[in-house]
Amino acid sequence: MRILELTKKFPYPINDGESIAIYNLAKGLHELGAIIDLLSINTSKHFTDLSTVNGDFSHYNSFNAVYHNNDVKYSGAFVNLFSSQSYHVERLHSLDFARALEQVLKANDYDVILLETVYMALYTPVIRKWSKAKICLRAHNIEYEIWKRCSDEESNIAKSWYLKVCANRLKKFEMTHFKDYDCIAAISQKDLDTFEQLGYTGDSVVIPVGLDDEKYTPSASVNTKTFGFIGSLDWMPNLQGLQWFLNEVWPEIHRKYPDIEFHIAGKNAPLNFEVNLDQNIVYHGEVDCAMDFIKTHSALVVPLFSGSGIRVKILEAMALGKTVITTDIGLEGIDAEHAKNVLVANSAKNFVDAVGLLKKDSQLLVSIGDEARHFIGQQFNYRNVANKLFSKLQNSTPSIESKSTSIV
């Protein structure tokens, strides 16, 4: 099977959820015999110097990336308000990438074009014009749902209104392109159900994020006095959840358990973020190794009330044998059980109680962590995930003709 994988950013270094999901799936498909070429938009926001990519990418037959400036411009965002297009999508519209894609499709005969995230549906007209390959969307989440939930959590009326506009336009974009796919590989059953409720009737399969168990070695010691948070702080769901935790939860934790420390790791924090932190809170910025950071602390706190898809940092923490304290939304797509392999907290009191419980009972930390690690090995092994998609792609039927007429 010959596959062309298209991504909205080059998936390297392999240190965030999207890159991990892309990397492990491609690795698994390669091990099953697929020949995979990678073509990425190399954005200004997530720029990668391809000369730094090492042997980790040997499972690709070839890889290339086309530079594109996708910086947020206030003037562009303002002008976009008077159009009907999503500004998120518009910022990924690259004629250079479209030309590069055309050249690749002319030079190669592919069986499958794998779109990593719905944003790459922007280029289905080019694919249909120059290829007869099956088009499979690997949907990492429900994009519009992220911004709708962020809008619901936003207290600023003007900002909430703008986020709602973004959500509605993304929803329209997602639904418009349903007809272009031969298959949707949803990240979770919940996401697939949502696609079908929105009107998708084509072939589908649930393909979660896959992890390589061998890369996750639990720490030998247990520390019950430090808790951690890790996540990009320029992603709104992370920042909203963390700010809620710092404002509504941490003061009570610090009052009850003054010896507990809370450690935060994440890039692109807001201006003066560290200056405003309270006692026993340590901000590390962007860390060199997420796994080392997670292993250092007794538990991972994930206070998410918006977002969509599967949170890979939760999977990684569980694979490392760590207890995760998170919300029902944080656990979407992860069929874990409260008090068995995770702790679920949906209120400030729940989070305070969970932290207190783990501080007092180190054996509970160990038992939940052990169950979490076993759960990940059973449910999220990258080879099993890749095999499921490989089988689906072998059996799905390609569309006969192009159904899209323009890039945007």
Sequence length of the chain is 408
Q: How many CB atoms lie within 10 A of CB 247?
A: 11
d(C-alpha 212, C-alpha 404), whole Å: 37
Q: In whole angstroms, how far apart are CA 197 and each of 175, 190, 193?
A: 11, 11, 6
Report the pLDDT value the prediction gives residue 402, as an integer from 0 to 100.
Answer: 43
User: Closest Cα partner for 25 from 395, 383, 369, 407?
Assistant: 383
Amino acid (one-letter) located at 235: W
How confident is the model at residue 406, as a pLDDT? 47
Cα–Cα dist 301/231, whole Å: 11
Dist CA 5 CA 24 (whole Å): 13
More confident call, 83 vs 91: 91
> What percentage of the chain exceeds 70 in pLDDT?
95
| Amino acid 400: pLDDT | 43
Query: What does the longest C-alpha to C-alpha distance in the chain come to?
Result: 65
For 99-118, write each residue's pLDDT tens digit. Answer: 999 999 999 999 999 999 99
Q: In which band, very low, low, confident or very high, does the pLDDT at 309 lie, cut at 50, 70 and 90? A: confident
Read off the pLDDT of each residue in 213-224 and give the average, rounded to a whole number.
Answer: 81
265-289 mean pLDDT: 90
CATH superfamily for domain 214-379: Glycogen Phosphorylase B; (3.40.50.2000)
pTM above 0.75, yes or no: yes
46: pLDDT strictly greater than 80: yes
For the 2-210+382-395 domain, the top CATH level (class) is alpha beta
**Confidence grade of residue 276 (pLDDT, cut at 50, 70, 90):** confident
Look at residues 346, 350, 347, 319 and name the one whose alpha carbon lies nearest to residue 332: 346
Please, what's the b/e burial string for 248-276 (b: 16 or more CB within 10 A of its CB; e: otherwise)? Answer: ebbeebbeebeebbbbbbbeebeeebeee
Domain coordinates of the chain in residue numbers? 2-210+382-395, 214-379
Mean pLDDT for all residues in the chain: 92
- 310-330 residue pLDDT tens: 999 999 999 999 999 999 999
Q: Count CB atoms within 10 A of the CB of residue 49.
A: 10
Amino acid identity, residue 26?
Answer: A
Residue 332 phi/psi, 5-degree rounding, is: -55, 130
Higher pLDDT pick, 50 / 398:
50
Rounded to whole angstroms, how far apart are CA atoms 144 and 136? 19
Please give the Cα distance from 317 to 361 (Å, whole number).
19
- One fold for both 2-210+382-395 and 214-379? yes
pLDDT in tens, 164-202: 999 999 999 999 999 999 999 999 999 999 999 999 999
Mean predicted confidence (pLDDT) in 5-27: 95
- Full strand arrangement of the beta sheet holding 134-139: 62-68, 35-43, 2-7, 112-116, 134-139, 183-186, 203-206
Report the distance separating Cα 42 and Cα 67, nearest Å. Answer: 4
CA distance 19 to 343: 27
The DSSP line for 375-390 is: HHHHH-BHHHHHHHHH
